[in-house]
Structure 1
Amino acid sequence: MTEVSPRIGLGYVMPSQAQKHVTVNESLRRLDAVVQCAVKSATTTGEPGTPAEGDAYILPAGRSGPAWDILAETHIAVFQDGAFTAIPPAAGFLAYAMDTGRFLLFDGTAWRTIPLSGDNVPSLGINTGADANNRLAVKANAELLSHDDVTPGSGDARKVINKAGTGNTASLLLQTGFSGRAEIGLVGDDNLTVKVSSDGGTFTEVMRADAATGNLGVGLSATPVCRLDVAGPVRVAGYTVAALPPAGAGAGQIIHVTDASGGAVLAFSDGTNWRRVTDRAVVS
């Protein structure tokens, strides 16, 4: 039979043992340190000069001090009966760090922040695993971002993607089988760009909105020079004379009339009638 418990190291009272209270009291001190464990800090490297009875610390790398120099990294150093005692953690130990307000989990090798305090969580995976690149990973069929009824400006809901500088990228990448097929955002500059790809490797720019002018370019390789700048033919919808849309919806509309007298023709709205672009005659 071993003399201590396997996880916390509580001393067992042995048969015919003298001064059994010593073993029991030592176990109670150990339990007092690790049950509902709260440490003053998990990052303090200098051993405090005047610790209070019961003060506990998770020992980080680079620790120093008369007692801490000889105690192991990751161990819980608790000040009891006038001296620091090290308690080695087992995988699954939880501790609350009072200086940061964070909960820590010992994974068998290191103490890691767990998402119970809400702030400064290094990574979070919801129904999937997060990694160093994808610090937030969500596996779900839908994601909801709703307004906050409590904060000022409630009723608004915005998703913000911030980049470090003009030459960087802030975009939304749409994938099929984790291979990119479309990208929308600020891609290498501050102009709004839409790109598509058939293989995830080569992307073709479809549309660009110039940040300085608001001009929109379609299929261009240069900056658009007018409100709509298209690199190629433009097609408008075709209508029969009997099914023309309302011209009064707005002057300046352009359509293609497929069966106008004299043949198919482009027509524009003057705000009241559709007129042929060829001779300005009302379409009939």
Structure 2
Amino acid sequence: MSQSTARHALPFIQPAQAQKHVTHNEALEQLDLLVQLTVEAFDASTPPGAAEDGQIWALGPAPEGVWNGQGGRLAAWVNGAWIFVTPHMGWRASLGTDLRVWSGSDWRAPDLPDLQNIDGLGIQTNFDATNRLAVASEATLLTHDGAGHQLKINKNEATDTASLLFQTGWSGRAEMGTAGNDGFAIKVSANGSAWHYALLANSTTGALSAPNGLTVTGNISGSAVTQSATDTTPGRLLTTQAGAAQAYRRGNILGTVSQSGGAPTGAVIQRGSNSNGEFVRFADGTQICTHGLNSNSSGEVTWTYPAGFVSSPRVVGTPNSSNPILFAPRFTARTHTSVDMSVFRSNDTRTAVFVETQAIGRWF
């Protein structure tokens, strides 16, 4: 008959043994240490300065002092002395909530149970039948494993919903995804019950729509908008200052005309006047100047145009007189800014008479 148990080497009371209580107490002492095993430290290497009866340390591979040579064993302080116990594979020991298992060479955290096909998982909160995965945290990180990363949200049928729902106080405020069809949508709500679509993307064509309006504060570019001041390609979105394709309206038909590279950049018609007469400019470059002035019987009278031309214009004049005598105006020294004028009678002499003058040309 063996003198100790097979697993924990607890001493048996032998037949006709004297002082049986000593053997019995030794076995109880070891059971008291090993049942519901708790330790003061794992991988301990230095004995404490003072220990209480029943305290146990799980020693590291090379402990010091009175523990020297007892690496990997359990050191227990009992009745004023150290006793050492060799752990066996699978023994469990805890340090508070830190539970470890003896692997045969060290104390290790136990392997987690298989997480496949579990009912749910709650991290710092509880999951339920709808929310099988629940996380209470300031952030949730999903990162790559050396390449890209996809978050997949799969639905059963097109009429189902696959989306991300943003809530305030458990009340929906914004949602993005495929809700009720396979088109992508972004919608918002102020109260969680009345929803408004902000953007809709057609799953067949990719066309994007904003059913409740759209405000753009930045520039719009790309081949869908006019490319230059002279671009009149059908179907392109007109941008401001698009020149020949500009959408004129009551607010900008009249004003200051201007041009850049031969293309209008301002209003359609500009009218003005000064002491030299009146003028009208058109966006196509045409300019007409008019004035009324008296000729001089002793020489030429210079008319400075109220607005300059790009080159010498055509000038005509009509004498305004009740006298039946035939008058003939003559214009000389024409430039892009002025012209000299005389009026002659039929006898080829200059005369003083009021003349309505007109100059027609281009301002660019």
> If the length of structure 2 is used for normalisation, what is the TM-score?
0.38
> If the length of structure 1 is used for normalisation, what is the TM-score?
0.47
Larger gyration radius, structure 1 or structure 2: 2
